[in-house]
Amino acid sequence: MNIDLHCHSTVSDGTLAPAEVVALAAQRGVEILALTDHDDTAGLDAARCAAVSAGIDFIAGVEISAGWRGQSVHIVGVHIDPADAQLARELASIRVGRLRRAERIAAALEAVGIRDALAGAQRFAQHASLIGRAHFARYLAEQGYAADSHAVFQRYLVPGKLGYVAHEWAQVGDAVRWIRAAGGVPILAHPGRYPFGTAVMHELLQCFKQAGGAALEVLTSAHDAGDVRRFAALAREYGLLASHGSDFHDPNHEPFGPGSIGALPPECAPVWHDWPVAQRLAEHAASAH
């Protein structure tokens, strides 16, 4: 079964419009797709409409930016109700915080001689209400400060570099509770990307589980085979289900399109195991054989 529970569109820092993400996913054989833009649900209606025409099952999602020990940690929520008032209010507040952070990033870049970065980044933020480091990266790459946006990140935008500014994100436990209160399923995104030692990772997993976290993203484009094994084992240890999602952003810069990251290890209990849509597709596939 081809299911992808983590994808971005132009509503956050992806480069395809929500309907284009759905069309690409359908073309690649995805049967169940969640759109999970950073801190914004504005793409979900367009994506749902496109999914109806493409004949794939659509799940409303979001990826909330949270903080843990001074690092950013992302909580994906799927099956959320985007109309939930508390969730909508908290996401709006995170977006305001992103704008304040963007002003500070622009000031830090200005101090090293890079001018007009806020206006430049905003030009790449197609959905004006959300701005992030990826938009700065695209502007700086365009201006020739590095070969491509990934190189811009490494040179300017990661912790320790001149264009990086610390930021107070949401608390992990709060993000989990907002997703739960909006009817959603909280998933700790790409754990292999966090620069934590074993003890801090265990504390994060405990906090996530205690707050109502449901699943760990075991399979995602940032994970190598070792990460997949490690987080499959940690999911079992903490009684968490396993999720997978491509974390797709840009068809021109990523080998992993929607739906092309393979299957979870067999020992994992998938987060969709009891979703009616997944059972229906599995029965359909079984009867076709």
Residues of this chain that interact with ligand AMP (CB under 6 A) are 13, 38, 65, 72, 132-134, 149-150, 153, 158, 249
Least distance (Å) from ligand AMP to the CB of residue 26? 23
Least distance (Å) from ligand AMP to the CB of residue 137? 6
Q: Which is nearer to ligand AMP, 219 or 268 (CB)?
A: 219
Distance CA 192, CA 37 (A): 20
Contact 117, 110 (CB under 8 A): yes
Identify what 188 binds: ligand AMP, Mn ion, none; CB under 5 to 8 Å per kind. none
Q: Which is nearer to ligand AMP, 123 or 150 (CB)?
A: 150
Residues contacting 275, CB < 8 A, separation 6+: 79
Single out the residue of 213, 247, 264, 268 in contact with Mn ion (rule: CB under 5 A): 247
- For residue 177, the number of C-alpha atoms closer than 13 Å in the C-beta half-sphere is 10
Identify what 153 binds: Mn ion, ligand AMP, none; CB under 5 to 8 Å per kind. ligand AMP
Contact 78, 34 (CB under 8 A): yes
Contact 89, 64 (CB under 8 A): no
Identify what 180 binds: ligand AMP, Mn ion, none; CB under 5 to 8 Å per kind. none
Least distance (Å) from ligand AMP to the CB of residue 109? 14
Identify what 65 binds: Mn ion, ligand AMP, none; CB under 5 to 8 Å per kind. ligand AMP
Distance CA 227, CA 156 (A): 27
Least distance (Å) from Mn ion to the CB of residue 157? 12
Q: Which is nearer to Mn ion, 141 or 189 (CB)?
A: 189
Contact 248, 256 (CB under 8 A): yes
Q: Is 74 in the site for Mn ion (CB under 5 A)?
A: yes
Tokens 């790449």 -> residue: 124
Least distance (Å) from ligand AMP to the CB of residue 287? 39
Name the residue with the smallest CB distance to ligand AMP.
132
Least distance (Å) from Mn ion to the CB of residue 248? 8
67 pairs with which residues across the strands?
72, 171
C-alpha distance from residue 100 to each of 60, 93, 142, 165 (Å): 27, 11, 23, 11
Q: Is 217 in the site for Mn ion (CB under 5 A)?
A: no
Tokens 């009817």 -> residue: 183
Q: Which is nearer to Mn ion, 75 or 106 (CB)?
A: 75
Least distance (Å) from Mn ion to the CB of residue 8? 5
CA dihedral for 35, 259, 132, 143, sign (positive or negative)? negative
Identify what 246 binds: ligand AMP, Mn ion, none; CB under 5 to 8 Å per kind. none
Per DSSP, the three-state class of 111 is helix
Identify residues 3-22 at the interface with Mn ion (CB under 5 A): 13
Q: Which helix (H) or strand (E) holds 205?
A: helix 198-211
Residues contacting 128, CB < 8 A, separation 6+: 122
Identify residues 168-207 at the interface with Mn ion (CB under 5 A): 189
Q: Which residues bind Mn ion (CB under 5 A)?
A: 13, 63, 74, 189, 247
